[in-house]
Amino acid sequence: MDLLKFISEKRNSSLKKDLKNILGFKPGNINLYKAALTHRSVAEGPEHNNERLEYLGDAILSAVIADFLFKKYPLREEGFLTDMRSKIVNRQQLNEIAIRMGLKKITFYNKLDHSLKMSHIFGNTLEALIGAIYLDIGFKKTGKWVIEKIILPYMFLDDLETLEINHKNKLYSWASKHGYTLEFETLSEKLENGRRLFTVAAILNGENIAEGKAFNKKDASQLAAQSALEKLNINNSSV
């Protein structure tokens, strides 16, 4: 047998084993799952990395969670359901869940790219994996998998109901209560490895009190607000 082919088959066999442990079932098209686990930092072409599958998985995950919440809370209003869905699909939370599931160990990414430490590539990988699962086994089984492998073991809904994840709103509320002026200002925007990295500052009464960096302005401003809340020692009782 050709040595390269032997090595490739051995890697596929190892990946299938790891995926089966995480998924709870034997994956079908292994190339589909390899794409889901491959970050653009090691594969530029859209046919080789997980960006397209991430897009698909994001939509599937949102639909599954919307259906789950609609059935779980039959008497709650639209605003509550929307807020709960946002908390569940929160980027930071999905990233933490992905790591706990073991996706970090089998994700293919450039470990020397330090800018990736500020991103949520494992949460994005989880969404791409959901896209791959959907293409592999269909929507109904994927919905069941999301509920059994993500929502039930990792999402404590009673806690999420009272969780405040919008740090900007929390900081705005605190500033308004104390008569302070709060603004968020984009300090810089630069390319890092083909992606735009934004630095956003939380400006309180004209003073830069905290900054956040991320690959989109929304996340950067949330990180700046979170940092500001910590520096100002603002907890739930302070707002």
The CA distance from 25 to 180, in Å, is: 54
Tokens 């779980």 belong to residue: 72
Look at residue 41 and give its three-state secondary structure.
coil
Instruction: Please check whether residue 53 is in contact with residue 140, taking contact to mean a CB–CB distance below 8 angstroms.
Output: no
In sequence order, what are the residues at sequence separation of 6 or more whose Cβ sits closer than 8 angstroms to the Cβ of residue 54? Answer: 124, 125, 127, 128, 131
- CB-based contacts of 44, cutoff 8 Å, min separation 6: none
Q: Which of 54, 58, 211, 219 is catalytic?
A: 58
Q: In sequence order, what are the residues at sequence separation of 6 or more whose Cβ sits closer than 8 angstroms to the Cβ of residue 95?
A: 120, 121, 122, 123, 126
End-to-end CA separation in angstroms for the chain: 67
For 72-116, the DSSP string reads H-TT--HHHHHHHHHHHT-HHHHHHHHHHHTHHHH-B--TT-GGG
Q: Which of 54, 83, 127, 211 is catalytic?
A: 127
Q: Is 58 a catalytic residue?
A: yes
Rounded to whole angstroms, how far apart are CA atoms 203 and 198?
16
Q: Catalytic residue positions?
A: 58, 127
